[in-house]
Amino acid sequence: MVTLLGGLVCVAAPAVAQDAATQDDTGVQTDAGADGAIQIDPLPSLDTAQDPGQADLDEAVSKRIDAKTAAELESVAALLESALSKGLGDENSRFAKQMLGSVQLQLGQGLFGAMMRGAGGNAAAVRLEALELLKKAVENDDQLADAHVLIAQLNSPAVFPDADGALAVRSITKAIKLYEDDPKKQSTMLAMRAGLRDDPEKQIKDLNRALKLDPKNTKAFQARIVLRLGDGQIDEAVADVREILDDQPMNLAIVAAAVEQLMDADRDDEAVELLTEAIEKQASDNDILERLYRIRSRVHTKRLDQESAIVDLNKSIELRPGDPRKLIELAQRCLENEDVTAAKGYVQDAINLNPRVADLPETILVQFLIASQEKRIPDAINEVKKLIDFQKDDPQRQAFWQEQLGQLYMVDDRPRQAIDVFEQILEIQPENTNALRSRGDALLAIGEHQTAIRDYEDALKILQTSDTGPAENLKSTDMVAPDYAGLMNNLAWVLATSPKDEVRDGQRALELARQAARLTDYQKPHILSTLAAAHAESGDIPKAIEYSQAAVDLGAAQENDQLEQLQEELDSYRAGEPWREKQETEENEKPILSAEDLIDI
């Protein structure tokens, strides 16, 4: 069921028979004419002998004139019920029921108002009492449109778990018919009924009709936007959004939802256009403008237009300065724009505004990224440990940051610590291919070739049997191609270059290296290097020289950090020798000090 209006919509309920109404200080409405005097239709003159309840009816009419409080109205209702019980003629009976219905409606309205104000913590009981009164009101006079509306509101399934949804729809439908001479009210009721239905087609039908009756019905537009977005009707939803951009205040949540859908559909330029139009039409509302600039900044970020993202964020900050979180977001955009210096400045400004910001996960993330870019690996390790602690209740996210920690340990020449981290991940996620591959890399770094091969093979088997299918069925443009290529390259490398005879397998290495090269369009120097090593191990030195030379040339063009080793490999093949490599990384035993440790020192 799509909840469109979400909650109670307080409809201004006129008093009996839709005459004007006044309200006393108790919250109970009373019927009043233009001069403030109570308006009572004259009673027909009948013989009390024929109408035993006439005396009670007369007294009720008299008391109704001055009745203001709930107690006074209840007294009038009691007299009317007594009159009806004793007996009245047809005309008097109809009159008494209409008056009784109006009194019960007034009492119900008073209870409804009390419930909306909290009812002293007893809202549930007040709701039930109001419902009983309103049901009696329509039994006595089913032309009381406002009573039907309140019954529907008090039975909204979106608000009350024990609501009677079917009764709500029946009641609001009755109100719609009674309001046929008032297009705007009928439009409001149709939008309300759409929110009570659970059939999208009927909901849309109601909303279309509501907007035909009142093209300015903002709630109907908003509800139809939600429905259309939920049904993937992006163009229609965006058209509706444009109809409400002038609203004061504008429903920002609706606009943001439409923008989100456009972004999900990779229609980012259209999202920017919509937000730009909204900004132009909301120029006088700084609060809305600030949030619109912030949303547009995020769209620019997705479009990789970091300069525009930074401009919009700065506009947002100008409209509402003093928000340290926005400074952190600005730091993120600067990092994406490769401006580390500016990012550091914004982080410091944010912390100066509020020191507690330093402990927020988004701040820690930025500090981690800054430390990583500045090659301050121990600092990056400290920050990523904090991020891991933040994700204790989310194993997937925690595993992601644990992988980052393991990779940092590898960069800092701490492969054994990296292995410990990857094993923690694999205890919980034994089929995590990234963790298997990374543990394989760490094992390779300490010379554990056979164990590394086992991890690589296990990871490859999991990938091959997953939904992505075997590597030979993939193209270089497939999203998973880099994962396959990296894994197969590392496995092929150890099979081709291990100094241990029992480990090497030239043909298997060649098979894997060819696939890895194909999946990267032969544009990765280190993978061409592996293909050369596999050819050399298989005895085809000329091919090894060919691919090794290609790796050197490509590495030089790309300014590859490993160019020197690539040249050494080529020299080895030219000498007729296959390449052998056994990594024996010496564990970095230096302690990793935290900022607090450094302060203590």
Residues contacting 507, CB < 8 A, separation 6+: 538
Residues contacting 205, CB < 8 A, separation 6+: none
Distance CA 229, CA 354 (A): 39
pLDDT digits (tens, 9 = 90+) for 375-390: 999 999 999 999 999 9
**CATH code: domain of residue 68:** 1.25.40.10
Q: Is residue 140 part of a domain?
A: yes
Buried b (16+ CB within 10 A) or exposed e, 14-23: bbbebeebeb
Region 563-577 average pLDDT: 96
* 409 or 198: which leads in pLDDT: 409
Q: Is residue 192 part of a domain?
A: yes
Q: How big is the chain, counted in residues?
A: 601
User: Would you state the structure tokens that stand for residue 63, as one six-digit string?
Assistant: 């008391």
Rg, the chain, Cα only: 37
Angle at 61 between CA 56 and CA 66, to 5 degrees: 125
Residue 392 scores a pLDDT above 50: yes
Distance CA 333, CA 349 (A): 15
Give the end-to-end CA distance of the chain in Å, rounded to a whole number.
Answer: 62
Nearest to 77 by CA among 43, 107, 51, 32: 107
Residue 33 scores a pLDDT above 50: no
Tokens 């696939």 belong to residue: 515
- Residue 29, beta-bridge partner list: 23
3-state secondary structure of 469: coil
Amino acid identity for residue 526 in this structure: H
Q: Is residue 465 part of a domain?
A: no
Q: Is residue 202 part of a domain?
A: no
3-state secondary structure of 29: strand
Distance CA 35, CA 28 (A): 19
Residue 584 scores a pLDDT above 90: no
Q: What share of the chain is helix, strand, coil (3-state, %, to 5)?
A: 70, 0, 30
* pTM of the complete model beyond 0.85: no
Q: Which helix (H) or strand (E) holds 21?
A: strand 21-23
Which alpha helices (DSSP H) does 478-575 contain, by range? 481-497, 506-519, 525-537, 541-557, 563-574
Q: Is residue 184 part of a domain?
A: yes
Distance CA 584, CA 447 (A): 6
> Residue 34 — pLDDT band, cuts 50, 70, 90?
very low
Residue 468 scores a pLDDT above 90: no
User: Would you state the structure tokens that stand for residue 434, as one six-digit string?
Assistant: 């990234």
Q: Which of 24-33, 124-133, 263-272, 282-291 has the lowest mean pLDDT?
A: 24-33
Number of structural domains (the chain) is 1
- DSSP secondary-structure letter at 162? T
Q: What is the pLDDT of residue 37?
A: 39
Beta-carbon count within 10 A of 391 CB: 16
- Residue 22, beta-bridge partner list: 30
Distance CA 264, CA 349 (A): 33
Q: What is the pLDDT of residue 586?
A: 86
User: Would you state the structure tokens that stand for residue 410, as one six-digit string?
Assistant: 């590898």
- DSSP secondary-structure letter at 585? P
Distances in Å between the Cα of 54 and the Cα atoms of 21, 81, 88, 90, 384 are 27, 12, 7, 12, 85
Angle at 299 between CA 296 and CA 302, to 5 degrees: 155
Q: Is residue 68 part of a domain?
A: yes
Q: What is the pLDDT of residue 146?
A: 94
Q: Is residue 101 part of a domain?
A: yes
| Residue range of the domain that includes 173 | 1-38+49-197
Residues contacting 364, CB < 8 A, separation 6+: 358, 383, 386, 387, 390
Q: Which helix (H) or strand (E) holds 192?
A: helix 183-196
Distance CA 129, CA 110 (A): 11
Q: Tell me, letter by letter, the H, E, C secondary structure of 305-338.
A: CHHHHHHHHHHHHHHCCCCHHHHHHHHHHHHHCC
pLDDT digits (tens, 9 = 90+) for 488-520: 999 999 999 999 999 999 999 999 999 999 999
> Residue 18 — pLDDT band, cuts 50, 70, 90?
very low
Q: What is the pLDDT of residue 14?
A: 37
Distance CA 540, CA 410 (A): 33
pLDDT digits (tens, 9 = 90+) for 144-177: 999 999 999 999 998 899 999 999 999 999 999 9
**Chain Cα centroid distance, residue 397:** 17
3-state secondary structure of 23: strand
3-state secondary structure of 6: coil
Residue 9 scores a pLDDT above 50: no
Q: Is residue 178 part of a domain?
A: yes
pLDDT digits (tens, 9 = 90+) for 240-266: 999 888 887 788 888 999 999 999 999
pLDDT digits (tens, 9 = 90+) for 48-60: 456 899 999 999 9
Q: What is the pLDDT of residue 599?
A: 44
* DSSP string over 230-291: HTT-HHHHHHHHHHTTT-SS--HHHHHHHHHHHHHTT-HHHHHHHHHHHHHHTTT-HHHHHH
> Residue 16 — pLDDT band, cuts 50, 70, 90?
very low
Beta-carbon count within 10 A of 28 CB: 23
